[in-house]
């Protein structure tokens, strides 16, 4: 297994991953019984994520980290840190890199960069059970009344405060 390296995102990173991004995002938009619709939605989402990535890389208030294995980008994370509450916008791992520990290292690095004393929120589709389990490993909890449009779940991670003593 290759070692994962986490680094700051650069403008050309998304393009290097683009052809595999749709396959990575597709499971996040699948609604049981509506897989064909999800393919069209996935392409729209890829374009939206590409725009968000390009904007975030040039915005010093946002955190863009890229995971690399064998010197090739295999995933990325975007955290909007503009407000007091950091918002995890995207964490995406390319196919073939799930279950390698790379996503875990990427998330740890992103949360450390966002600051342990800050709460972090995110939204995830309710059908993406793997992602929900992943986020719970990092202390994210469902926000009361956090479901919207029947498909999206809002989660929040409270600030991690150091114990005094």
pLDDT tens digit sequence for 116-127: 778 999 999 888
What CATH number is given for 4-117 in this structure? Answer: 3.40.630.30
HSE toward the beta carbon, residue 78, CA cutoff 13 A: 23
Query: Band of the pLDDT at 85, cuts 50, 70, 90?
Result: confident
Q: Domain locations in the chain?
A: 4-117
The tens digit of pLDDT for each residue in 48-83 reads: 889 999 999 999 999 999 999 988 999 999 999 876
- Mean pLDDT value across residues 86-91: 94
Whole-angstrom distance between the N-terminal and C-terminal Cα of the chain?
40
pTM for this prediction: 0.86
* Bridge partners for 69 per DSSP: 4, 72
């Amino acid at each position: 297994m290759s070692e994962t390296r986490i680094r700051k995102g650069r403008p050309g990173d998304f393009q290097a991953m683009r052809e595999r991004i749709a396959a990575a995002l597709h499971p996040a938009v699948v609604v049981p019984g509506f897989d064909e619709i999800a393919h069209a939605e996935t392409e729209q989402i890829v374009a939206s994520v590409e725009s968000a990535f390009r904007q975030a890389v040039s915005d010093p208030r946002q955190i863009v980290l890229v995971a690399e294995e064998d010197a090739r980008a295999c995933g990325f994370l975007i955290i909007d840190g503009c407000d007091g509450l950091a918002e995890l916008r995207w964490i995406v791992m390319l196919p073939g890199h799930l279950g390698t520990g790379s996503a875990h290292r990427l998330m740890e690095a992103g949360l450390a960069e966002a600051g342990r004393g800050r709460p972090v929120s995110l939204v995830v589709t309710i059908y993406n059970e793997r992602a929900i389990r992943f986020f719970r490993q990092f202390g994210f909890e469902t926000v009361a009344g956090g479901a919207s449009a029947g498909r999206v779940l809002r989660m929040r991670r409270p600030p991690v405060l150091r114990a005094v003593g």
